[in-house]
A and B are shown apart, each in its own frame.
Chain A
């Protein structure tokens, strides 16, 4: 039963007990020397942590904080558009290059090398895409409550 009282030590020190709970706790402390020792030990430690606070950031950090957050929002849209445009242009360029090389009567080993290059690129792309999709399924942010 003493364990129940021990758990209330934090609530007592933090002023989070109801008045009736507080009175009952104080009565128990008065008659239970072990609980009283535990309370004092915890109070001493709380005084140590309570005398400290997290270091303040300089004011200039807060002046620029919103700007930094806003830039992140803006940059993401920029990156998405940039990536989409780059992918379309790259695919179109590769297609044109392959068609012109294959029509141009190049030796067989050049055609094989182009085939290997494109095949390897496709495998790498699919591999990265699969990895990203797999990671997305395990993304902790998908669990965020709405």
Chain B
């Protein structure tokens, strides 16, 4: 299971949620600390703005705490929380209308350091094109790509989060990748994809 959405088992997630349901706010802190990076990362990839990402993810945690009495503690916390966060992100972008208004400044970095200035420039252009390709996708494609490519959730975790069968994850992810590939055609045919 990926670290990103793995339940806070070492913290006994269920016990923490039961305490939250009794109104103990301090029991919510370990949960927030465990999932805050995943939540803010998703919101960042969705909105393209760091300020908005922090604002939306914190608001999602606040809303989750307010609604936690209605949550079934036998279920994992993150998929339920993700629904709140996703709805907030969608509302923030005004549903489909403003999806394409995500800032053009890419929010990616390369996993390793560029060996020289030429490569750095080339990589910056590559990141810009990938970001541009992702922001042109519909919300469904964008969400599943973010969860898999940048949050490294397993198919089982994505299935849990999106409440779809594992087989559907595979087919939906493939369709999303095909559409992204079409967006990245100039980059792929330019021979820069191996740099």
Which residues of A line the B interface, CB within 8 A?
6-11, 14, 16, 41-42, 44-57, 61-62, 65-66, 68-70, 72-73, 76, 140-141, 144-146
Contacts and interface: CB of A to CB of B under 8 A. Distances in A.
10 contacts: A6-B174, A10-B173, A11-B155, A45-B193, A50-B149, A53-B109, A53-B111, A57-B37, A57-B54, A73-B65
A35 B188 CA distance: 18
Q: Is the interface of B mostly helix, strand, loop or mixed?
A: helix
A41 B44 contact: no
A14 B148 contact: yes
Interface residues of B, number: 57
Given A10-B177, A45-B188, A66-B36, 6 more contacts: A10-B174, A51-B110, A55-B50, A140-B90, A144-B84, A145-B80
Given A49-B130, A66-B32, A44 B193 contact: yes
Most chain B CB neighbours (cut-off 10 Å) among A44, A45, A62: A45
Contact of A144 (B80, B145, B177, B188): B80
B92 interface: no
B171 A7 contact: yes
B128 to A, nearest CB: 11
A53 B181 contact: no
A61 B177 CA distance: 32
A42 B108 contact: no
A6 B174 CA distance: 8
B72 interface: yes
Contacts of A14: 148, 155, 173
Interface string B57-82: 01101110111001110000000100
A145 B188 CA distance: 41
A61 B39 CA distance: 13
A14 B173 CA distance: 11
B41 interface: yes
A52 B58 contact: no
A52 B62 contact: no
Please give me the 4 A-B residue pairs with the lowest Cβ-Cβ distance, nearest first: A72-B62, A10-B174, A52-B108, A146-B70
Contact of B181 (A41, A57, A144): A41
A140 B91 contact: yes
Contacts of A56: 109
Contact of A53 (B36, B58, B150, B171): B150
Nearest to A73: B62
